[in-house]
Amino acid sequence: MVVLYSSIRRTFRLLTRRFTLGLFAAAAALPSRAFANVAPPRNEIRESLAKHFTDLGTAGTFVGYKVEDYLIVASDRERSGEGKLPASTFKIPNSLIALETGVVADPDKDVFPWDGVKRPIEAWNKDHTLRSAIAVSAVPVYQEIARRIGQERMQKYVDLFDYGNRDIGGGIDQFWLSGALRIDPIEQIDFVDRLRRRALPISKRSQDLVADILPVTKVGDSVIRAKSGLTGREQGSLGWMVGWAEKGEAHTVFALNMDCPEQRHIEARMSLTQACLADIGAV
């Protein structure tokens, strides 16, 4: 069996969490020592997924978790377990923390006024609500949100979410952009799947609201709820796309990251994600 996780210890932690949150609800009465007897998800490498990146002239990784099949499909063994800066995919936990702490009470009514600084992305140069800010990935709004949350509360929730390496060093409004925070595709999937199932250790209301404001892309009869991310050139221009796809009653949680040395790579993040999802029958 191909093992996608970077260590046995992390595999066990992931499975233990899923067990605790009810994925193995029928066995919930078993003692903790029984966890070692729980079969891991089936997993496989598909070369067709890796080919999408090489055809585009770049390097990257895609991991999909087909929930109903309990199957993890990945493009590779190595990069799928490498931690990277989350960039704007951190807007998902940042939104959850903002709502849970009351920094944002209503994602449609609380307004963050534009500070008047003209930025290259025109959509950022206006007032925003949480819903409109996540739609255009408005970094300045989320930096202000992080400052209002503050270091202590931010660390508390990053720990509570078991998000990546949990390291928020590098500045309260920079740690996910250029600081110390790292997360790999398997950890992204684990976090997003807990949101999808409303299994994070916070209120259901906060999780419902964030799931509702996530950008939506429709592909035929399927729906993709996902957040993009992009680091700056100083960090190597890494692009992300993380979320989940819904096709009827079937759900697939996914994470893609790729090197984006050219504008065409940045623009291809969603189309490449859709191609990978189509390859595994998720859309």
**Positions marked catalytic:** 88
Count Cβ atoms below 10 Å from residue 68 Cβ, excluding itself. Answer: 9
Helix (H, G, I), strand (E, B) or coil at 126: coil
**Among 188, 200, 243, which Cα is nearest to 21's?**
200
Q: Give me 151's structure tokens.
A: 């270091």
Separation CA 213–CA 218 (nearest Å): 15
Helix (H) or strand (E) holding 71: strand 71-74
Separation CA 25–CA 225 (nearest Å): 26
**Among 172, 177, 182, 181, which Cα is nearest to 150's?**
172
Could you give the dihedral angle defined by the CA atoms of residues 222, 217, 258 and 198, in that order, rounded to the nearest 10 degrees? -80
